[in-house]
Structures are given as structure tokens and as C-alpha cells.
Amino acid sequence: MYKPYISSSDSGPGSGSGSGSDSDSDSSSSPSIDGQMQAIGNWQAALKLPLPERFVVAAGTEGRATDLAIKPTKIEFEEKRHTNVIMINSLDRDQQVYPSPTQLRLKLPRLYKNVERIDIVQVKFFCGLYSISESQNNNTLAFSDPSGAHVVVVPDGSYGLQQLTTIIQQLMQTAAPVGGYTVAFNSITGRITIKATVTFSLLFSSSLPVYAQSTYSEWGLGWNLGWGGQPTDLSGASTYTADHWPRLCRDYIYLQMNENEHMNDIDHTDVEATGKSQDSTGQVSHYFGKLLLNNFGCWAQTLIEAPKTFKPVLGRLERLNVTWTDRHGNVLLGTDAESCDWHMTVRIIEIVESATASSSLTQSGAP
């Protein structure tokens, strides 16, 4: 049978177990609320805890729910979208591992989960890419005259029309002094003319690597000077005028990110050879964006992108792989690319679960 705890302070001289007076019998069979509260008070005083308010349980309600009972917790969740804005700078890369800012990997500030969408809000790319360079195979010009065959090499760099024509003329005159060579740009017709006092040949085709002899664009320095179409050796004259406007700058580059997560959604065409096949040579889901370049030494900021939406969501994202390429998919490398630092603002949208406004703890009423 349940017996309440009786503290020593509540027991009198006649209290105790065994036979005794009627008062002893009543003390052992009836609960002493005051004694219980006194014992709890002594315990809390020793622990320096605040005393609770006294309450009396109504007779006959022991073990039954009262107004002080709490309902079982009921929490409802709903999906919400959380937008994260991240500042990324190529200077933050490990430059020992990634010496070039055009191909690198960066760890994100934290792990992003259940990513629904990623896009680029802003980008600034420093355009330090040379228009004439050995890496592009467009810095040499081969020619021959009565004094023999010659090849001039233009130093890597970006040139204006006047600068380029002047340096080519100086190099040709140095290589073949008897030729009396002049290289000039006509601002009215928009064409470059190479002239000599002797009959000479421009070896646009035979001086090229085999793989470049069958292309129609970007096949060498002659193409940059304005001789378009498939490269062909020119001979039997003392004057040659280009048929196209000079091409002295890169117009754009491409951005690739996280191929393993399939972030690249932009399709593009590529050089076709309809004499061999009528099928497209382009690629699907190959790039994330296309950056339109500014003048050499200036910042480029115009990015055409395809924001990536993940369906289903991407479970985790903790790093970004960034690669800048030319129009043929070649990674931009070399001494000029090493100066092309950039920074961008990336927006990542996560799907998170949060408790609804109606989720709370409530008290129950009397049974």
C-alpha cells in the first residue's frame, strides 16, 4: 500500500512504526502534504533552486489528467526556398596547385544541400588575352622572294592596326632587305596591302601545319591580316591586298562549371564539313555561359548564361570547378591567360524544411 514520505521534522515524539496511540495510526495512514513540501523545500534549498508554488491535488484526481497536462507535440513542416549569395574570386585559389585563373577549383564557404538552382548574378573578367601568340599558331608569316624563303615571327601580344602593320613591315625588311617591303592599312577600304619592289610569294598554306591547311578560319597570321577562306599560297605578283577586314581581337570565350554535376546547359554549333557529313558537329549541354570580351587590358562584364535548374535537386554542393575556354573548347593557358583574374557573384537556391506557423505546444483541458 502506498505510504507518503514523512520527514523527520514532521514526526513527533510519538511517531514511528509499530504499535502506538491512535494519533500514530492516523499519521501512518494519511498523507502529510506539509511534510512532503518541507522535504522538497529542504532539498531545493540545498541545491539553491527556486521554490515551486504550492499546489494541492484535489481528492480523487490522483493519476488523472488535469489542466496542467500538455498535449503530445505536433509539428508540421513545409518546403521553403533559401537563397544564398556567394562572392567568388579567382585570387582565392591555391595558386601553387592552380597557377592559371582560367582553370581552377574553389571550395565553397559551406556545404549546400538540396540545391534547386544555381546562376551567376555578376562577373568581371580581366581581358589580358593576346590576339597574336604562339599558342594560337598565328604569330608567323612565311614568304619568299629572289633572295630566298623567309619566316618572320611577331612577338606575342595584342596590337592595333598601325602597330601590327608597322612591326610586320620592319620584320620583312630585316629578313629580306632587297625586297623594299611595305605593309599598310587602307582606312577607306578597310583592307591591308603588302607590297614589294620585287615579285614575291606569300606562303599562307605550305607554311601551316597539316591540320590547319584545310580550315577556313583562324588558320594563322594571314587570316588575322584579312585573307579569309581556305589558306592558299599567293605568288607571281609584287602587291597583295587582303579580301577581309583584319581580325585583331578575340570576341568571346566560354565558361564551363562542374561537369560531374551536369551544370552546363548551353548547346553550340561547331565547324561543319558538309562534303563528308550532313550531321551537325555541335555539342549539347557543353557550356554554362558565354562571356563577351572587352578591349585588351579592360574588364569584360557581359555574360550570356543558362541558369542551371536541378530536377531532382542536387543533394550536395561544396566546390566549384571553373574553366574558361576559347570557341574550340581549348582551355585558355599561357603567360597571357595567367593575368586574366576574375570575380563573380553566384546565387544558389536551396530547398529547406521548416516548421509551419501553426506548429506549437498547447495545454489540454480537463478530461
pLDDT at 58 over 90: no
CATH of 79-129+250-269+280-355, one of 2.60.120, 2.60.40, 1.10.390, 1.25.10: 2.60.120
59-68, 71-80, 83-92, 324-333: least confident range: 59-68
User: Residue 76: exposed, middle, or buried by beta-carbon count in 10 A (0-12, 13-18, 19+)?
Assistant: exposed
| Mean pLDDT, rounded, of the chain | 85
pTM of the model: 0.74
For residue 102, what pLDDT is reported?
A: 97
Which residues lie below 8 Å from residue 179, measured CB to CB, with a gap of 6+? 145, 147, 172, 173, 196, 197, 198, 200
pLDDT digits (tens, 9 = 90+) for 141-156: 999 999 999 999 999 9
Q: Give the domain ranges of the chain.
A: 1-69, 79-129+250-269+280-355, 134-241
pLDDT digits (tens, 9 = 90+) for 232-267: 999 999 999 999 999 998 899 999 999 999 999 999
In whole angstroms, give the CA distance from residue 33 to residue 162: 107
Residues of the chain with pLDDT > 90: what percent? 64
Which residues lie below 8 Å from residue 175, measured CB to CB, with a gap of 6+? 150, 151, 152
Mean pLDDT of 284-307: 95
For residue 321, what pLDDT is reported?
A: 97
Per-residue burial over 79-113, b = 16 or more CB atoms within 10 Å of its CB, e = otherwise: eeeeeeebebebeebeeeeeebbbbbebeeeeebe
For residue 15, what pLDDT is reported?
A: 43
pLDDT digits (tens, 9 = 90+) for 339-357: 999 999 999 999 998 877 7
